[in-house]
């Protein structure tokens, strides 16, 4: 049970303060194509490539059967999104002839016995004590707690965990499925990297995962290893870098600090200049599942994105992550084009509203404890709230910015999952999720609007 991001305010350090209004398409409007806070406006409504479909086949369907099925719709193979192996069935991206009737093509494909489903290729968008200055000057309220210094009773209470010496582990890995990450940012240098490729040979697939030189992750939008495109702040990779900073910016007496001071992150970039596609989101999800199977301790993925309609292919990919023991933390979304949060119980937002047991859906609250006006909610489809308004973190080109959105709330929870795994090594995805939900602090603005009726408390979660 679960759960676009609308309104994003952005104040950028070193640049003129800017206010951006992001219309999240009634789905997690955090980057599935655009960031949750989005640096470019998301398009209202569900959108998909007019001439493309995702086709999932029954287990064991061979090439001859797949070719026969494609022929029913005069479609041609564009790409194998998921390669069939064992229980993992084949998923293809197919291209239709110009002007083809997409709905009819779906019907024709589904009529073939080798086809399990056919669906649109939806467009996704963007939802100890620290001496770091943004923490000490009172601006990093999302890390505070009722008894910390500085204090804010509606913060995540991560600072109380730090005071008890719980600052994370370099043996814990988090996948950031989003835009890219500026991995050499002063607050992130050393925090981002694939252990099977760091220090490896150039041009060699050292970890044998099928991706050559994915040292910091992979760009599924461009199909290369350039997860940070560079450029100026406010362009590409701001959103992904902001998310990463909240999860794991290091404590270095400069800039900001994340929920974890010690953690490792890997970039699964699929949101590009024009958003992202369902097909590429699936590849990113499976990328981390496969890394875990290769021995990388991927505890959770952060998913501050959403948009489009329901996809069986995405739900299946999330279930593969569940089987591998990965928590899928997802933004609940920022409402529709009106900037007002929607009820995900009646208007599902994907991927946060899928029923997979490893999903934790996150709403946004403000520093005064109210549910942010833009944040989606849902008594059965949104699990808990977390700080998501006026959140300072790292941005591309060595910057720092304040963003608002469920995209910003989500990494607080992902960070908490990683911190829990550092204290309780070997904890399953189910145990981590249960600890996060059981420890939620009852909050009036979230009563009857989330599963727990409460907000994140990092320190309390670690005691579970």
**DSSP characters over 145-179:** -TTSSS--TTS--HHHHHHTT--EEEEEEEEEEES
| 3-17, 37-51, 200-214: the lowest-pLDDT one | 3-17
What's the rounded mean pLDDT across residues 259-282?
94
Known catalytic residue: 338? no
Q: Is the preceding peptide bond at 351 cis, omega within 30 degrees of 0?
A: yes
Residues sharing a CB contact under 8 Å with residue 86, sequence separation 6 or more, in sequence order? none
Please identify which of the residues 169, 407, 439, 445 carries the catalytic annotation. Answer: 407
Phi first, then psi, for residue 89 (nearest 5°) are: -80, 155
| SS3 category, 391 | strand
Of the candidates 112, 132, 178, 207, the residue annotated as catalytic is 178
DSSP designation for 218 = E
Give the span between the Cα atoms of 290 and 256, in whole angstroms.
32
Whole-angstrom distance, CA of residue 387 vs CA of residue 155: 6
Contact yes or no for 342/350 (Cβ under 8 A): no
Average pLDDT, integer, range 112-131: 82
- Hey, how many other C-beta atoms are within 10 angstroms of the C-beta on 350? 29
What pLDDT does 12 receive? 30
Distances (CA, A) of 328 to 13, 322, 325, 331, 353: 31, 8, 10, 10, 12
* The token pair that represents 429 in the structure block: 């995805």
Q: What percent of the chain has pLDDT over 70?
A: 87
Specify the pLDDT at position 47. 81
User: DSSP readout, 383-407?
Assistant: -EEEE-SSEEEEETTTEEEEE-SHH
| Alpha carbon distance 84, 66 (integer Å) | 12
Q: Which element (helix H / strand E) includes 76? A: strand 76-82
Tell which residue, 2, 103, 55, has the closest CA to residue 282: 55
In the chain, the domains with their CATH numbers are: 7-43+126-462 (3.40.50.200), 49-121 (3.30.70.80)
Residue 30 has pLDDT above 50, yes or no: no
How does residue 367 score in pLDDT terms, banded at 50, 70 and 90? very high
CA distance 384 to 396: 29
Residue 88 banded pLDDT, cuts 50, 70, 90: confident
What CA–CA distance (Å, rounded) separates 248 from 351?
23
Alpha helices (H) along 16-140:
63-72, 102-110, 133-136
Eight-state DSSP code of residue 330:
E
Please write the tens of the pLDDT for every residue from 45-81: 468 888 999 999 999 999 999 999 999 999 999 999 9
Number of neighbouring beta carbons within 10 Å of residue 111: 12
Instruction: Using a pLDDT cut of 90, give the percent of the chain over it.
Output: 77
Closest to 210 in 3D by CA, of 283, 102, 317: 283
- pTM metric for this prediction: 0.86
Is residue 41 very low, low, confident or very high in pLDDT (cuts 50, 70, 90)? Answer: very low
Question: 201: how many CB neighbours lie within 10 A of its CB?
Answer: 10
- Widest Cα–Cα separation across the chain: 66
Q: Cβ atoms within 10 A of the Cβ of 295, count? A: 10
Name the CA dihedral angle for 101, 103, 106, 110, rounded to a multiple of 10 degrees. -130
- Catalytic site residue from 239, 349, 381, 412: 239
Half-sphere exposure of 41 (CA within 13 A, CB side): 11
- Please name every residue paired with 54 in a beta bridge, in sequence order, or none if there are none: 93, 119
Contacts of 107 (CB under 8 A, 6+ apart): none
d(CA 308, CA 247): 26
- Grade residue 234 by pLDDT with cuts at 50, 70 and 90: low
- Residue that has been written with the tokens 């084009």 in this structure: 337
Active site residue 239: yes
pLDDT of residue 232: 59
pLDDT value of position 89: 86
Q: Where are the beta strands (DSSP E) in 152-275?
A: 168-178, 217-219, 262-269
User: Would the pLDDT of 164 be above 60?
Assistant: yes
CA distances (Å), 68 to each of 108, 109, 119, 442, in order? Answer: 11, 10, 18, 56
The dihedral through the CA atoms of 4, 5, 6, 12 has a sign that is negative
Q: What separation, in Å, do the N-terminal and C-terminal C-alpha atoms of the chain show?
A: 23
Query: Running DSSP on this structure, what letter comes out for residue 451?
Result: S
Task: Determine the Cα–Cα distance for residues 236 and 405; give it in Å rounded to an integer.
Answer: 18
pLDDT at residue 132 in the model: 62
Between strands 391-395 and 262-269, the pairing is unpaired
């Amino acid at each position: 049970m679960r759960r676009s991001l609308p309104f994003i305010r952005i104040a950028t350090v070193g640049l003129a303060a800017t206010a951006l209004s992001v219309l999240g398409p009634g789905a997690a409007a955090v980057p599935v194509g655009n960031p949750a806070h989005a640096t470019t406006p998301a398009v209202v409504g569900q959108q998909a490539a007019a001439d493309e479909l995702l086709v999932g086949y029954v287990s064991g369907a061979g090439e001859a059967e797949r070719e026969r099925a494609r022929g029913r719709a005069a479609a041609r193979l564009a790409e194998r999104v998921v390669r069939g192996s064992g229980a993992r069935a084949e998923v293809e991206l197919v291209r239709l002839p110009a002007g083809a009737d997409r709905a009819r093509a779906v019907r024709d494909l589904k009529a073939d016995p080798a086809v399990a489903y056919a669906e649109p290729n939806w467009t996704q968008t963007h939802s100890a004590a620290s001496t770091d200055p943004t923490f000490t000057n009172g601006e990093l309220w999302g890390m505070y707690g009722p008894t910390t210094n500085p204090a804010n009773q509606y913060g995540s209470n991560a600072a109380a965990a730090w005071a008890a010496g719980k600052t994370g582990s370099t043996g814990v890995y988090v996948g950031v499925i989003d835009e890219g990450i500026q991995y050499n940012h002063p607050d992130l240098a050393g925090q981002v990297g694939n252990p099977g490729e760091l220090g490896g040979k150039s041009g060699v697939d050292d970890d044998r995962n099928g991706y050559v030189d994915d040292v910091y992750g992979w760009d599924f939008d461009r199909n290369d290893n350039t997860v940070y495109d560079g450029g100026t702040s406010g362009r590409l990779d701001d959103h992904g870098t902001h998310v990463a900073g909240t999860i794991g910016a290091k404590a270095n007496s400069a800039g900001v600090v994340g929920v974890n001071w010690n953690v490792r992150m890997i970039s699964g970039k699929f949101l590009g200049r024009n958003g992202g596609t369902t097909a590429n989101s699936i590849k990113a999800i499976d990328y981390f599942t496969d890394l875990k199977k290769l021995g990388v301790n991927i505890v959770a993925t952060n998913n501050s994105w959403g948009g489009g309609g329901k996809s069986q292919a995405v739900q299946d990919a999330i279930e593969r992550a569940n089987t591998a023991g990965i928590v899928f933390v997802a933004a609940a979304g920022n409402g529709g084009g009106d900037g007002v949060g929607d009820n995900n119980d009646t208007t599902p937002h994907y991927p946060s509203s899928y029923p997979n047991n490893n999903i934790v859906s996150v709403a946004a609250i403000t520093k005064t404890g109210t549910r942010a006006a833009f944040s989606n909610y849902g008594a059965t489809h949104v699990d808990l709230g977390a700080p998501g308004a006026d959140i300072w973190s790292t941005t591309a080109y060595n910057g720092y910015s304040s963003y608002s959105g469920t995209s910003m709330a989500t990494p607080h929870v992902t960070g908490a999952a990683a911190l829990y795994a550092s204290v309780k090594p070997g904890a399953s995805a189910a145990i981590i999720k249960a600890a996060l939900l059981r420890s939620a602090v009852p909050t009036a603005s979230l009563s009857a609007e989330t599963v727990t009726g409460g907000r994140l408390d990092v320190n309390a979660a670690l005691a579970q």
